[in-house]
Structures are given as structure tokens and as C-alpha cells.
Structure 1
Amino acid sequence: MNTLSPTTAAQAPPSRWALASLSLSMLLPSLDTSIANAGLPALAGTFEASFAQVQWIVLAYLLSITTLLVSAGRLGDLMGRRRLLLCGISLFTLASLLCGLAPSLGWLIAARALQGLGAAIMLALTLALVGETVPKARIGSAMGLLGSLSAIGTTLGPALGGVLLVASGWQAIFLVSVPLGLLNSWLAWRYLPADGPFAKGKPRGFDLPGSLVLALTLGAYALAMTQGHWVLLLLAAAGAGLFVWRQGRVAVPLVRLQLLGDRQLSAGLAMSLLVSTVIMSTLVVGPFYLARGLGLDALAVGLVLAAGPAVAALSGVPAGRLVDRWGTRRMTQAGLLGMALGGTLLALLPSASAVPGYLMPMLLLTASYALFQAANNTSIMAGIDPQQRGVVAGLLSLSRNLGLISGAACMGALFAFATAADVSIASAPALAQGLHASFAVATVLIILALLISHFALGKRGQSGTPD
């Protein structure tokens, strides 16, 4: 599959600088996913707002990303991915400046929503552009690097936010993205391959009504999961049905339903959702078990929780190289097997094993997640029609986000139910019981992903990246 025409390939800039631009396009949105969390108490005091009100600083950003990923990817396919990525980086940078200058909470929340729109464009098109900037034999390594940067950004956010808050005030939490955004704009403009003209006969239409239906549907689902409103969940189900109905009848759909008939793509999206649900459970269950079940202080809890994402970040590039060497199917299944083993060990964890007994399986689980993510992302993006890369990258990012949202809600509810007590005052044995139940279910989800991989992927990707 040729990702560049001979003419374009001959004019292609050095891939390392193009990859540097894509790296920043992955790092900055990930960083801003968590960097504001450290400033919420200070922002509540500054704007004389309740905790429920300042939570919308985080929620507005996440909702904006989740609802717009697929539409951003589709627009990139139609307008040109470099062209739209430059718009997204500029929008993200401008919104970061507006956040730092916000005179009121309402202004800040609106600016964060605008920042989320820029982030959605960056996240969707970064994965889509890998195939146009990196040689095919190194796509796995590039996907591993981007996965590492996503983990680094999310992990680094709270710590960096705390340092900036103490050193320069809450405004610095958002203004730090401005110079980095300007640098990224220059790198993207200078080094990413220019968009060619629209191919003859290529559809130019954009399904705006379908995009609105999808955005409202995803917004209703995300709010239902985070706020616990079951009516919104019913609205999301109805919206999903309406969206599918429309996509089957509109001349130029936002998502061609035939795409989801591709066994490799649908399997990859399903596995991404399941695995992301499991990974989120580590962040929901872990803090309560470590603090109250094992009696660790806040600093120790933070260090133990940071170990998992740090290992995932460090594992990304080596994992990508393994994918390039051994193929996507083998490494997808190896990653899932490692996650299943880690989840099983946590489900059977004896309380007497203390921190090492929790940490070792968790490190295995997160390192295996990095391997799965590099393999699955490569399998999906290297095997897709180049004209559909934007929308497919949006779907891939969306599956991950929906998994994280679902994991926070469902696995958190399972943990509370299995604990059979208020988790904030539950005894150590009760919390251990909740931990075991949560990771038993998590292991079942990983086994389900393994079955999907075995039966849906067949022999594709056995050696090297998919053809």
C-alpha cells in the first residue's frame, strides 16, 4: 500500500522532524488532559466556585474531545490532513492563551471547550499522518513513540501543574502550552508533507447533521457515565440508532458503515475499548486500595500510581520495535496475554503481599498495555485505505476515550459494590475484596479481547506490519 505518490515521496521532508511535530501534537493534548487537575482547588478559591463547578474545567475539555474526534478525522480526509492539523494546533494554542487570560470561571470553561476542539483535531490527525511521514517498516516504532508521549503527557500533567501553580500562579498551567503550540505550528508547517489537490471524483461533502447527531450522542453518553444520569444513557442509545440510520442513507456519510464491516478494523476498535476500560480501572481502584487497604500516605500513593504510567511510557518505543520485527497479530496477542496475567495476579493478590505484591503485577499489566497499543494502532492504521485514515484515526481515538469513560464509571461502581461499604471508610479486607472482584472482571474483559483477536484477525500481521 503506497502512502505517498512518487512525486510526493521524492519531496518528502526528513521524517524525524515530521515525527517531532506529530509527537508534540500527541503530547500537548495529553498533557492538558490532566494538568488542570492540580489547579482545581486554587481555581475554586480564585473564582469563589464550588468543587462541582470547577470540575467543568476538566469535563468541558474531555467532552469536547470525545464528541468531535470522528468529525475532525473526517474533515481532515476531505480538507487535507496537514491543512486541518495546522488549524487545530493554532486553535489549541489560541485557546490556551485565552484560558490563561480568563477573567471568570465561565470564560475559562468556554476556553477549555475551545481548547478541546483543537485537541480533538490534533489527536485524530496525528495518527492519520503517521503513514504519510514514516517509512512503512518503522510505523510500529512511530506508534510506540506516540503511545509513550500520550502516557508521559497524562502522567506528567498533575506534577507539572503543581510546580507551575506554586511558581507562577494558576495562569501558568495553561500558558505553558502557548510557546509549545507555536513551536509545533512551525514544525508542522515546515516539515509535514503538503496536502495535494483533491483526487478526481473524491467526495467533498461533509455530513453536518450526522456530525451533530454523533456529537450529541457521545456527549450524552459521556455525561451519563460521569454524572450518573440514566435518562442521558437512553438518549445516547437512541442517538446511536439515529446516527446509524442516517449513515446508511446519506450520499456522503461521516462514517461509511462498510468500514465497520472490515473484520480487522472492527476487532481493533472493540479491543481498544475493552483494554482502555481495564486500564482506567487501575486509576479508579488503585488509590483507595493503596491508601486505605495498605495504609500508604499521599506521597507513597502518588509514587506507586505513577509507576504504572511511567513504565507504559518507557515501554512504548521498544514495544513499537517489537511490532516492526514480529508483526501486529503476534504482538497484539502477546500484549493481551501479559495484561491477562497481570489482571489475574491482582485478582488473586493476598493482602499480606503489601506494595510489592500490588506493584509487580501492575507493572506487567501497564507494560503489556504499551505493547498492545503499539501493535493494535499499527494494525489498524497501516492496513486502512489512505483516503479514510482521518476518520479511522478518529474512531480509534474515540474507542479509547469511550473505554476510559466507561472504565471510570462501571469499574468504579463494581469496586464500590464488591466492597459492600462506603469505600472512603471501608476496612482493609473489604477494600481487598473490592480489588479482587474488580480485577477478576478486568481479566474477563482482556480474555474477551484475546478471543476477538484470535477469531477476527486471522493470519494478518504475522510478520511485519499488515499489508
Structure 2
Amino acid sequence: MKTRPIQLPEAIPGALPIPLTAAARQALAALSLTTLLSSLGTSIANVALPTLAASFHASFQQVQWVVLAYLLAITTLIVSVGRLGDLLGRRRLLIAGVALFTVASALCGLAGELWQLIAARALQGLGAAAMMSLAMAFAASAVPKERTGTAMGLLGTMSAVGTALGPTAGGGLIALAGWPAIFWISVPLGALAALLAYRFLPADAPAADAPRPKFDQLGTLLLALTLAAFSLAMTLGRGHFGWTNALLLLGAAACGGLFALAQKKSASPLIRMEMLRHPVLGAGFAASALVTTVVMATLVVGPFYLGGMLGLEAAQIGLVMSTGPLVAALSGVPAGRLVDSMGARRAGLAGLAGMAAGAAALPWMAASYGVPGYIAPLALITAGYALFQAANNTAVMADVEASQRGVVSGLLNLSRNLGLITGASAMGALYALGGMQAAFGVAAVLSLAAAGIIQRNAPSPRAECPLP
């Protein structure tokens, strides 16, 4: 199998930034809207759960599947969709994903039964999986290599904007027009995203004369079963780990072993396992999972601490919690530019140092200074995460072969999702056992561990290592 060198992007001192062409800016505009829509789909439904429980006369355990169905569809299928884009053409599959997301949004708004809404949300998640994985793959090829950080920072900003906008927009739409409105709003936006993608994204390259690799159906099934079992083990029980969770974890381990065996024997594997052993790619995936576990601590632990220890009302908690997405939205593009000027490795390490410092400082600053003492470290954690994410995405995606960008992008998004799912369970349990000091002490250690992984595995600016 042929290999080619990969060099971690580093800055050239004194170099002027390469301007983006009009075509690149138009492509990034189309990709930004698809990214915003997929993240909006994640956050906008959370605020509607009490309304949905009342409308469908259902329990919380039942309506939570409106959120879980979307997340599970993304998590279990994002790698497979990315690989399918590599084989069939990323542009056509991205447009198909946006179209599916748009149609599924309309079906959500039309749902008359809870099971219909859950099924439509699963379809919406499948469309979002294509949008997430292929948007990043497109962005890596739409701009010059030296501006990859800028492109990744922009997509990070749009993801943060969608996350921040979801609860506010959802609450307003429910008050004005009822819960179906939170899904209908995605229909015109999805139609616009599909139009922009069709108009501005470059056409897929014509198929080569050589036989096209086959899609790994067995690998796709086994990976989906592995990820679904793991995700359910981490989310069912609302923080209480029981026999169901243990059996699901055992099932995930068994399916994962079968998946690894199937990949070794497949002539056209879904994931080339040597990718996971590659120092830059493997380090990027591992660090991403650790860091998003840290981010989840702020999302899961924050509301309990703000309400229980600081005595804030629900509206005040929401206002304080909005600091994170707001900082991420404001710092995403500057972070991308900083990556282009500093280099991916140095920028990533700087971001992780900021996250570790913010996590270590948050418990005692919040205890000493109240809400301002909570907001300041939270802003540092979030800004550090924005810088790390732009740097890590740049390092992983910059030198990946065009034929593998979809699956690598899918793996990068998967690592984040797994970190969020694990963090939701683990950080909540740590807070219950040891309070803020335990949860954010572990968060600081995980940030430093991610920095160690990046530092140990990233090559020097002139070092070369083969990319599988």
C-alpha cells in the first residue's frame, strides 16, 4: 500500500496569509449553514421536552428519546456516512443529507404521535451525520493548506452559534407557535443550505477507470451496534449504573472486537485500522475524546452547582450557562487565524493549557467570588477549547488523502460525540461523589493528559511520518 508523508502544519514566521478566493468563501458559506443547522438540531429540542411530555401525555423517560434518537443516529452512523461520501462523492451525499434533514424536520413538525416524532428525529440525525462529517471534509479541501485553521475555526464558530441559539430560539418559537415550530424553522433553512451547497460546492470528481472499492456493509453494521450499545450504556438510567448498563457495555465490547476482526479481513474496510495507530491521527482522535469529556463537565455539573450552591433561578442559570457558547462563537474565527499563524501543535497545546488552568481554578473561584468567579474560568475553558478544536481539526485534516477525508472527518466527529456521551455520565457521577473539586480536578487532569498525548505524538515541523 502506498504511503505519503504527513507534516503537522506549523507557521512560517513572517509569512503573509494567503487570501481566500471567491469560490472558497462561497463554499465556506454553504458549509457554515449546514454546520449551524446540524448543531441547532441538537440543542433546540432540549428546551421542548417538558412541553412534549405534556402534549403527548408521556413521561420524561419517554420524551428524552426525542433527543437521544437524534444523537444516537449521528453517533452510530457518522463514520459510515463519511466513508460513503469518499466512495460515492461528497457533494452529492452532502446535498442528500441536507435534503433528508429538511424532509425529516417537516415530518417532526407533522408528527401526531410520540413514536412518529422519535422516528423522524432519527431520520433527521442521519441527515445531520452526513452534514457534520462531510462539511469538515469539504472545508479541508476548499481552502489552501495554510488557511485550514481559519476554515476549521469558522465551522467551530457556526457549531457554537447553533448550540447557543437553540435554547433561546426554541423557547421563543414554542411560546409563539407551539412545539412543532422548533422543527418547521429548519425547513426553509435546510432548503437554503441545499441550494447553496448545489450552487457553490465543487462537483465530485468523475469516477476513475479502476474498480470502485466496495462499501463495507458488515463493518458498518458491527460499528453501528458497538456505538449504539456504548451510547445507550452511558445514557440510560439517568446516572444510575445497573445491570442493563453493564450488559450494554459487554455487548459494545463484543461487537467492537468483532468489528476490529472484520476490518482486518475486509478487502475494503470501513476504517483502515492503521489510521488509529498513526501518531497524528490517533493522537488527534484520543485528545478530542478527552477534551470533550471536559467540556461536558461544564454542561452537566454547571446547572446543579449554580442552582444548588449559588442559589440561582432557572432564568439566571440559563444566562450564566450561555457564557460558554457565546465565548465559543466569538473566539472560533480568531482561534482559527491563531492556528494559521502559530501552527497547529503550539496552538493546540496553548488551548489545552488554558482549559487545564480554567478547570483547576473554577471550584475555588466560584466558591470565593460567586457568579463572576464561575464565569471567568468558564470563559477560559471555552476559549481554550475553541483554540484546541481549531488546531486539532487542522492537524488531523490538513494532510489526509482526498479519498479518506470523509471517513477521517467522521472519526473526528465520532471522537467528540463519544467524549460528550461519556462525560455526561462520568462527570455527573464525579460531581455526585466528590463535588466540584472532584469533577473539575479530573477535568484539569484530562486536559493535561490530552496535552501530553499531542506533545508526545506530534512530529516536529520538519519531521515526516507515513500516512496510511
TM-score, normalisation: structure 1: 0.91
Is 1:399 matched with 2:451?
no
Is 1:246 matched with 2:246?
no
Q: After TM superposition, list the pairs within 5 Å mapping 1:117-266 onto structure 2.
A: 117-201=126-210, 203-227=212-236, 228=241, 229-266=245-282
Name 1:329's counterpart in structure 2.
345
Q: After TM superposition, list the pairs within 5 Å mapping 1:383-462 onto structure 2.
A: 383-418=399-434, 434-460=435-461
What is the rounded CA distance, in whole Å, between the counterparts of 1:131 and 1:330 in structure 2? Answer: 20
Residue 460 of structure 1 and its aligned partner are, at CA, apart by 3.8
Q: Deviations over 1:165-217 (max 9, x none)?
A: 01111111000000011011111111100001123436420011110110011
Residue 51 of structure 1 and its aligned partner are, at CA, apart by 1.4
Name 1:60's counterpart in structure 2.
69
Selected match of 1:359 from 356, 363, 375: 375
Q: What amino acid does structure 2 have at the position aligned with 1:87?
A: A
Name 2:10's counterpart in structure 1.
none
Q: What amino acid does structure 1 have at the position aligned with 2:418?
A: L
What is the rounded CA distance, in whole Å, between the counterparts of 2:221 and 2:345 in structure 1? Answer: 36
Q: After TM superposition, list the pairs within 5 Å mapping 1:6-25 onto structure 2.
A: 14-25=23-34
Asked whether the equivalents of residues 203 and 252 of structure 1 are also in contact (C-alpha less than 8 Å), the reply is: no
Asked whether the equivalents of residues 140 and 151 of structure 2 are also in contact (C-alpha less than 8 Å), the reply is: no
Task: Report sequence identity in percent.
Answer: 58
Is 1:345 matched with 2:361?
yes
Q: What amino acid does structure 2 have at the position aligned with 1:130?
A: A
Asked whether the equivalents of residues 13 and 192 of structure 1 are also in contact (C-alpha less than 8 Å), the reply is: no
Name 2:40's counterpart in structure 1.
31
What is the rounded CA distance, in whole Å, between the counterparts of 2:422 and 2:384 in structure 1? Answer: 21
What is the rounded CA distance, in whole Å, between the counterparts of 1:120 and 1:415 in structure 2? Answer: 31
Q: Deviations over 1:281-321 (max 9, x none)?
A: 11111111111111112221111111112101110000000
Residue 14 of structure 1 aligns to a residue whose secondary structure is helix
What is the rounded CA distance, in whole Å, between the counterparts of 2:321 and 2:200 in structure 1? Answer: 37
Residue 50 of structure 1 and its aligned partner are, at CA, apart by 1.3
Selected match of 2:291 from 263, 275, 291: 275
Selected match of 1:373 from 389, 392, 395: 389
What is the rounded CA distance, in whole Å, between the counterparts of 2:444 and 2:47 in structure 1? Answer: 32
Higher RCO (C-alpha 8 Å, min separation 6) = 2
Residue 322 of structure 1 aligns to a residue whose secondary structure is helix
For the aligned residue pairs, the C-alpha RMSD in angstroms reads: 1.7
- Runs of 5+ in structure 1 lacking a partner? 2-11, 419-433
The size of the alignment, in residue pairs, is 439
Report the CA distance shift for 1:35/1:347 in structure 2 as closer, same or farther (over 3 A): same
More displaced 10-residue stretch of structure 1: 33-42 or 193-202: 193-202
Asked whether the equivalents of residues 327 and 461 of structure 1 are also in contact (C-alpha less than 8 Å), the reply is: no
Asked whether the equivalents of residues 110 and 180 of structure 2 are also in contact (C-alpha less than 8 Å), the reply is: yes
Q: What amino acid does structure 2 have at the position aligned with 1:453?
A: I
Asked whether the equivalents of residues 347 and 438 of structure 1 are also in contact (C-alpha less than 8 Å), the reply is: no
Name 1:285's counterpart in structure 2.
301
What is the rounded CA distance, in whole Å, between the counterparts of 1:304 and 1:95 in structure 2? Answer: 33
Q: What amino acid does structure 1 have at the position aligned with 2:302?
A: G
Q: After TM superposition, list the pairs within 5 Å mapping 1:55-94 onto structure 2.
A: 55-94=64-103
Name 1:304's counterpart in structure 2.
320
Asked whether the equivalents of residues 89 and 204 of structure 2 are also in contact (C-alpha less than 8 Å), the reply is: yes
Q: What amino acid does structure 2 have at the position aligned with 1:441?
A: V
What is the rounded CA distance, in whole Å, between the counterparts of 1:199 and 1:13 in structure 2? Answer: 29
Residue 367 of structure 1 and its aligned partner are, at CA, apart by 0.5
Name 2:9's counterpart in structure 1.
none
Residue 385 of structure 1 and its aligned partner are, at CA, apart by 1.3
What is the rounded CA distance, in whole Å, between the counterparts of 1:305 and 1:167 in structure 2? Answer: 24
What is the rounded CA distance, in whole Å, between the counterparts of 2:417 and 2:257 in structure 1? Answer: 20
Q: Deviations over 1:16-47 (max 9, x none)?
A: 11111100111101001010112112211221
Is 1:314 matched with 2:330?
yes
Asked whether the equivalents of residues 366 and 374 of structure 2 are also in contact (C-alpha less than 8 Å), the reply is: no
Asked whether the equivalents of residues 132 and 193 of structure 1 are also in contact (C-alpha less than 8 Å), the reply is: no
Residue 13 of structure 1 and its aligned partner are, at CA, apart by 6.9
Name 1:5's counterpart in structure 2.
none
What is the rounded CA distance, in whole Å, between the counterparts of 1:31 and 1:180 in structure 2? Answer: 11
Asked whether the equivalents of residues 18 and 192 of structure 1 are also in contact (C-alpha less than 8 Å), the reply is: yes
What is the rounded CA distance, in whole Å, between the counterparts of 1:358 and 1:131 in structure 2? Answer: 36
What is the rounded CA distance, in whole Å, between the counterparts of 2:425 and 2:45 in structure 1? Answer: 21
Residue 248 of structure 1 aligns to a residue whose secondary structure is helix
What is the rounded CA distance, in whole Å, between the counterparts of 2:22 and 2:107 in structure 1? Answer: 33
Q: What amino acid does structure 1 have at the position aligned with 2:130?
A: I
Q: What amino acid does structure 1 have at the position aligned with 2:430?
A: L
Residue 132 of structure 1 and its aligned partner are, at CA, apart by 2.4
Asked whether the equivalents of residues 366 and 372 of structure 2 are also in contact (C-alpha less than 8 Å), the reply is: no
Name 1:423's counterpart in structure 2.
none
Q: What amino acid does structure 2 have at the position aligned with 1:92?
A: F
What is the rounded CA distance, in whole Å, between the counterparts of 1:393 and 1:110 in structure 2? Answer: 26
Asked whether the equivalents of residues 109 and 183 of structure 2 are also in contact (C-alpha less than 8 Å), the reply is: yes
Residue 347 of structure 1 and its aligned partner are, at CA, apart by 4.3
Residue 88 of structure 1 and its aligned partner are, at CA, apart by 0.4
What is the rounded CA distance, in whole Å, between the counterparts of 1:313 and 1:461 in structure 2? Answer: 33
What is the rounded CA distance, in whole Å, between the counterparts of 1:297 and 1:209 in structure 2? Answer: 50
Q: After TM superposition, list the pairs within 5 Å mapping 1:95-114 onto structure 2.
A: 95-114=104-123
TM-score, normalisation: structure 2: 0.91
Asked whether the equivalents of residues 66 and 398 of structure 1 are also in contact (C-alpha less than 8 Å), the reply is: yes
Q: Deviations over 1:381-408 (max 9, x none)?
A: 1121111000000000000000000000
More displaced 10-residue stretch of structure 1: 251-260 or 131-140: 131-140
